[in-house]
Each structure stands twice: as C-alpha cells, then as structure tokens.
Amino acid sequence: MFAIRSSIKLGQQMRRAYVESTQRRELVLPLPDFFATPDITSAANYFAGPGGHRVASSPTLGALLQKRRSPGQSLTEDEEAELCELHREFFNLDRAARNGLGVAPDGSTLDGEGFNALITIRQWRRGADPNPPVLQRLAGTFVEIGVDYLANVPGALNRDSRHGKPIAGFLEAMGDIRFSEEKLGTLPARLFVATLETVSEQSDLLSGDTKTQELVRVVTRSLSSDVARHIEQLRAGGGSDLVREARLSDWAETVFRSLLSSAGGHVLAHPERFLGVQEEAGAELVSRVGESVLGLLLDESGLSIDRLFSRQSVTRILRPALAVAGEHPDLFLKGNHAGFQRLLGEMATRLAGSENLLARDTVPEVMRLILEKTGENLPLLWPNPGREPGRHLLLMAAQTTLEVLSRPSSIEDVWSPAFGRTELITITDAVLDELAANPAWLAAITGKEDERLKLVLESALRMIRLRASPQLSPVIAADIVRAVVQASARRVEFLKPVSGDGTGDPPPLVAAVLDAILQAVFDPDLGESAAWQVRRPEVLLNLVKSVLAELAGSRPRAETVAVLEGCLRKQLAALTRGEAFDLPAFELALHKALTKKPARKKKETP
C-alpha cells in the first residue's frame, strides 16, 4: 500500500510539475521581417544624426553624401563601400570618445547564438511565477511520503535528525535537476523510496553524520544526471523506447541502492577519498565509480548484460571498484574514469566470451576477484591504466583460465563432467592469487610467456579427462587443478616440458607428475583393496597435494617422474596386499627416493 500511495501522490505531482514547466517554458521569439544588416541607409542616417559633426571635417564624406542625395545621381559600388567604411570608422571613434558602448573588450560582435540567448523569453518575470518551483512541489510530496513511511520514527523529517539527513541530501540533489528538461520519468520517485528503504535497513547510514547526507546527495545527483544523459543520447540516436528507458532506470536504481547500502559503509569510512572533501567536485570518487559501473551495465554493444549480471552481483563489483578507486584515485579523476569503465567493459566482454560459461554471476564474480587483486598491485597488473584495458594481466590470466576450463570434453575423454560456477571461480581465484603473489610469474605472463599458464591448465585438465574415473567429482577435479597451479607458481621447474607421448606439445613436468599419479590410482588393473582406499576423493586430493609439495621441496626434473612412478607402484602393491594407506609414510618414502644419491659405479680394476 505504501508503494501504491506513494506512486499516486508522486505521479500526480510530477504530472502537475510537467504541466507547469510547459506553461513556464522559455520561447525563442522570432523578430518580424526587417532589414537586419547595417548598410548604406544606416550610414546615411548616422551622418544625418549622431555622426553629423563628422561631415564638416571630412570633405570626402560630405561629397559622397551630397552626391547620393542629388537627383539623377547615384553612388557607384565603390563609393557606397567607402561610405559604409566611413560609417564604421567614425562610429567606432565616436564610441571610443564616449566610452559608453563597446562593452566587449575582446572585440567580439553579436552572433546568432548570443542574439538568441537575449531573445529567449520566460513566461513570467523572475519571482512572479505563481506555480511552486518543481523542487518545492515534489519535495512536498516526497516529505508526505516520508511521513507515511517513517511515521514511526520520531523526528525523521527533521533535517537535522539522523533520519532527516539522508532525506535532506536527496532533496538537495533533486534541487540541481531540471525535471522538465531531463525527462527522468519515474526515477526520482524510485530513488527516493530507495533512499528511505536503504536508510531504514542500514543502521550505519543513520549515524547522524553529515557525511551520510553528502553521500546521498552526491550519489543521487550523479546518477540522475548520468541517466538523463543516457536517455538524451538514446533519444538523439532515435533508438529510445519505453523498454530501454525502463531498463536504464532499473539498473540506475540498482547501482544507487548498492552505492548507498553495501558500498556506503566503505565510503563513509573514508569520506576524504570518496566525497570530494579534499578537492573540488571532480573528486567525488563515489560518483565516478557509480557512473563507470552504470556505464558497463548500460552497454549495448551486443553483450548480454542482463544475462550476465544479477542485482546482487552489481554490489559485488561496486565494493572492490570503490577499493580500487580509493587506492588509485588518479584512475578516476580528471576525466579518466572512462578508462576504468573500458576495463570493466573489456572484462565483461572477454570473460563472457568463454564457451559454456552459462552460469549467471560467474562473470561478475570473476570481475570482483580481478578488481580486488588489482588494488593491491596496480602498476604491475595494469601497466598502462586507462589506455589498454585488454593488457590488464589478471584479466588476461582469468580469460585464459576460463577459456581452458570451460571447454567441452571430447568423445575420447574418460572424465567428461563440466566445471560449474563454483569450480570455475575456485580455480580462477587460485590462479589470480598465485599471479598476484608472484611478480616473477606476472612478469612472465606478458608476451609469449602467456602461453605457460595456458599450457599448465590445459595439460592438467587433459590428464584428468584422460585418466580419472567418471565418478571423480568436479569439485575434487577443481581442487586438483588448483594444487597444480599453486605448485607451478612455487617452482618454475614444474613448467619445463618433458617428453610426452608424441601427440601435441610436450606437457610440462607438473602435468607429467599428475599423469603419473592419476594413471596409478585409476589403473583398471589396480587391486580392489588399493583402489578402495586411494580413489576416495580426499585421499586422492591429499596424495596429489603431498606429492607436489614433496617434489617442490626437492629438485624437480624429468627423472623425478620415474622415481615417483616407482614409489607409487610400491605403495599400491602394499595396499593391494591389504595394508592401510599411510600418507606420511608414503611421503617419507618418496622423500628418501628423491634424495637418494645414485650409486657410484665401482672402479674397474685393471
């Protein structure tokens, strides 16, 4: 009922404001037809009037005027031009002598635009308009609704009260908006209700601090202006319709709520960074971030934003985006936020391009991961901020990861399940974590070395698909891939290629190690007693982790694989005989085997 009552009240008042703005609308008034260009008639009348004193002092001028007036005579074109020139010259001299006219010290003259500005006329003179200003009319209604909504909160509508400050901030922002021109439709009403609801639900926004008022004001003003600009562009391009404009308002409201609620706490904790306290209005970082995210959501370049993003996911992006802005304000100020918006757009485009990435919210979640880690190491992660969004290293890595992991299995694969959203994010998170924590790897990501990450992921996944049992869950498979990535980040030796099976590129050592483990564990001839134990998901995962950790602690090289295979054979043979699997004992055995010095050849006796 609240919504219905509010809607009717606001709708009526907004319509009335619309009507009144039509009554008071300025008109550019056309002058009647007249001879608008100063000419010889102007000149002759000047010298017959204000410039008459010049005639006596200029024989040429006198002669020209006399000739013009004489019956049967007329001035030649040159003589007319000369008379007009004398008019200009003497007019300027007289003007200078009077020091009256000529308020244009820059020598400018009246142009069409300036002329029209002076002939654009209001309906009522200033202060005489009988209708209340738009703000006053709507503010009255907003307050009525506020009374309805916050009736159980004493003092809610006192602008100095805790509840009143956010409302005051909203109304101040509305005061800057020209409703009649900007055609915001229902957006102001929706933002007002959003303000009330958010403030009611978020106790930290009710601190009574003026920062809350400022936050509401800044966010309301910037988003409203942004939406108005988008609507104007849509309409100017002839591509506007009710559905598009409604979609625009929907996303604007979503961003508005997110900025006030989830992100609001972060902003209020650092007002000096986000609310332009230190610098001019251009430093309102919170609005720049909001505009960037809204810009992404309104992208119409063919990206299915509505499929990729949910309302909740907007909040998940906004938080780290604000963190990035707080750490690196230069990315957003001085008109630079377009670069950040391009990065967001590039992320969405590239990440959504991965095959089979149908799970909603996967893309925003990966974007969140990238943004969170971006704030930590910006110069290294994004060497050329603002200009080359595609060269953001984490974006490149995330794209590679998702591309590899979301590829469908082939017909010869034994293990064919697809990774779900959780697994994709788990692995991507691990990849990004390792990259961000290992500058050396980051540096290697650029250029040709970018292929290394892809090779590790592809080969690990290939081993799982070829060797693992169909019963292996995608969750464990994802954990195994994550362990492989983490091991690779720890020792570069894992990335070195070893001789493969002759098909395709030789796999890196880490994949060969994984292959050895999986081949042994999922050997079809493995005895039941052994298989029963080592094919348990947690046992398999721990086995992979411990082998990789043990190898990382030694000197990983191609020969290591053979040593590992030997240890695994012994271990599995023991299990087949009925022994219990003892991971520490296996680790010890592997350690000894890896560190065992090769037997010296006996000296040959002569």
Partner 1 sequence: MIEARHSIPRRNPVGTLSALAGILAIVAATGCVSVNHLRDAQESFNQAAAAENALRLESTTPIDASGGGTLAAWSSARNGYASALLSLEKLEAADRQRLRQDGLWGTALTLKALSQWRLGHFDGALATAVEARETAADQIYPRDQALLWALPGLIKTDQAYHKILRGNSLPEVEALLIGANGAISDIQSARKLAETDHPVHQYLLQAKLAAYRNFQVALDRLQNHATVPVDHSARVEANADLKELDRLLKARNTGTDGGNLVEYWATLCALDPP
Q: Which of 1, 56, 236, 243 binds partner 1 (CB under 8 A)?
A: 1
Shortest distance, position 178 Cβ to partner 1, whole Å: 14
DSSP symbol at 34: -
Scan residues 225-284 and list those touching partner 1 (CB under 8 A): 246, 249, 253, 257
Q: Which is nearer to partner 1, 34 or 524 (CB)?
A: 34
Which part of the chain contacts partner 1 (CB under 8 A), choosing from 32-40, 340-348, 349-357, 559-567?
A: 32-40
Cβ of residue 56: shortest distance to partner 1, in angstroms? Answer: 16
Looking at 57, 78, 118, 280, which residue binds partner 1 (CB under 8 A)? 118
Task: For residue 56, state whether it binds partner 1 (rule: CB under 8 A).
Answer: no
Phi, psi of 121 (to 5 degrees): -120, 135
Residue 76 is a binding residue for partner 1 (CB under 8 A): no
In the list 56, 57, 76, 103, the residue contacting partner 1 (rule: CB under 8 A) is 103
Helix H or strand E encompassing 27: strand 27-28
Length of the chain: 606
CB of 50 to partner 1, least distance (A): 5
Sort residue 112 into left (φ over 0), alpha (ψ -120 to 50) or beta: alpha
Looking at the Cβ atoms of 91 and 441, the one nearer to partner 1 is: 91
Which residues 528-567 are close enough to bind partner 1 by CB under 8 A? none
In the complex, the smallest distance separating the C-beta of residue 28 from partner 1, rounded to whole angstroms, is 4
Q: Which stretch binds partner 1 (CB under 8 A): 16-24, 268-276, 340-348, 395-403?
A: 16-24
Count the neighbouring beta carbons within 10 Å of the beta carbon of residue 415.
Answer: 20
Beta carbon of residue 258, minimum distance to partner 1 (angstroms, whole number)? 12
Q: Binding residue for partner 1 (CB under 8 A) from 63, 96, 151, 358?
A: 151
End-to-end CA distance of the chain: give it in Å, rounded: 108
Alpha-helical segments (H) within 354-449: 362-374, 378-381, 393-405, 421-437, 439-445
Stretch that binds partner 1, among 68-76, 364-372, 427-435, 492-500 (CB under 8 A): 68-76
- Pick one of 56, 57, 77, 113: the residue that binds partner 1 (CB under 8 A): 113
- Nearer to partner 1 by Cβ, of 116 and 304: the residue is 116
Exactly one of 144, 148, 232, 565 binds partner 1 (CB under 8 A); that residue is 148
Q: Please, which residues bridge with residue 27 across strands?
A: 121
The 10 Å Cβ neighbour count of residue 376 is: 13
- Quote the CA–CA distance of 398 and 404 in Å, as a whole number: 10
Side-chain half-sphere CA neighbours of 321 within 13 A = 35
Q: From the list 56, 78, 128, 470, which residue makes contact with partner 1 (rule: CB under 8 A)?
A: 128
Is residue 115 part of the contact set for partner 1 (CB under 8 A)? yes
Q: Is residue 29 a contact residue for partner 1 (CB under 8 A)?
A: yes
**Residue among 56, 59, 76, 108 that touches partner 1 (CB under 8 A):** 108
Q: Which of 18, 233, 334, 446 binds partner 1 (CB under 8 A)?
A: 18
Residue 71 is a binding residue for partner 1 (CB under 8 A): yes
| Phi, psi (rounded to 5 degrees) for 419 | -75, 140
Q: Is the dihedral angle over the CA atoms 540, 541, 544, 545 positive or is it negative?
A: negative
Using the rule CB under 8 A, which residue among 76, 77, 104, 448 binds partner 1?
A: 104
Least distance CB 550 / partner 1 (angstroms): 53
Out of 57, 77, 78, 111, point to the residue binding partner 1 (CB under 8 A): 111
Q: Look at the block and give the residue holding tokens 């720049």.
A: 288
d(CA 18, CA 25): 10
* Smaller CB separation from partner 1, 36 or 56: 36
Q: In whole angstroms, how close is the CB of 252 to partner 1 at the nearest point?
A: 12
Give the number of residues in contact with partner 1, rule: CB under 8 A. Answer: 92
Residue 41 contacts partner 1 per CB under 8 A: yes
d(Cα 298, Cα 454) in Å, to the nearest integer? 32
From 63, 93, 96, 119, residue interacting with partner 1 (rule: CB under 8 A):
119
Query: What's the one-letter identity of residue 487?
Result: A
Our CB check for partner 1 shows the closer of 27 and 269 to be 27
Tell me which long-range contacts 115-120 makes (C-beta under 8 A, separation of at least 24): 116/28, 119/28, 119/29, 119/31, 120/26, 120/27, 120/28, 120/29
Three-state SS for 75-100 is: CCHHHHHHHHHHHHHHHHHHHHHHCC
Q: Residue 510 has which token pair?
A: 């880490």
Closer Cβ to partner 1, 56 or 599, answer by number: 56
Of the residues 53, 60, 63, 69, which one makes contact with partner 1 according to CB under 8 A: 69
Listing DSSP states for 503-527 in one string gives SSSPPBHHHHHHHHHHHHHT-TTS-
Q: Is 80 or 587 the residue whose CB approaches partner 1 more closely?
A: 80
In the complex, what is the shortest distance from the CB of residue 36 to partner 1, in angstroms, rounded to a whole number? 5
| Nearest by Cα to 551 from 535, 541, 564 | 564
Q: 194: Cβ–Cβ under 8 A, 6 or more apart, which residues? A: 253, 256, 257, 260
C-alpha–C-alpha distance, residues 138 and 133, integer Å: 9
- Of 277-316, binders to partner 1 (CB under 8 A) are 311
Least distance from C-beta 35 to partner 1, angstroms? Answer: 5
- φ/ψ of residue 41, rounded to 5: -65, -40
Question: 3-class DSSP state for residue 460?
Answer: helix
d(CA 411, CA 71): 108
> What residues from 175 to 234 belong to the interface with partner 1 (CB under 8 A)?
185-186, 189-190, 193-194, 197, 201
To partner 1, the closest distance from the beta carbon of 432 in angstroms equals 32
In the complex, least distance from residue 148 CB atom to partner 1, rounded to whole angstroms: 7
CA 332 to chain centre: 11
Smallest gap from Cβ 2 to partner 1, in A, equals 6
Strands (DSSP E) contained in 113-155 are 120-121
The span from the CA of 156 to the CA of 45, in Å, is 71
Nearest alpha-carbon partner for 367 in 386, 384, 352: 352
Q: Which residue has the tokens 């332009």?
A: 276
- Residue among 56, 78, 112, 447 that touches partner 1 (CB under 8 A): 112
Residue 196: Cβ within 10 Å count: 23
Q: Tell me which residues in 424-483 interact with partner 1 (CB under 8 A).
A: none
- Minimum Å gap between C-beta 299 and partner 1 is 22
Range 348-387, binding partner 1 (CB under 8 A): none
Which residue, 310 or 533, has its beta carbon nearer to partner 1?
A: 310
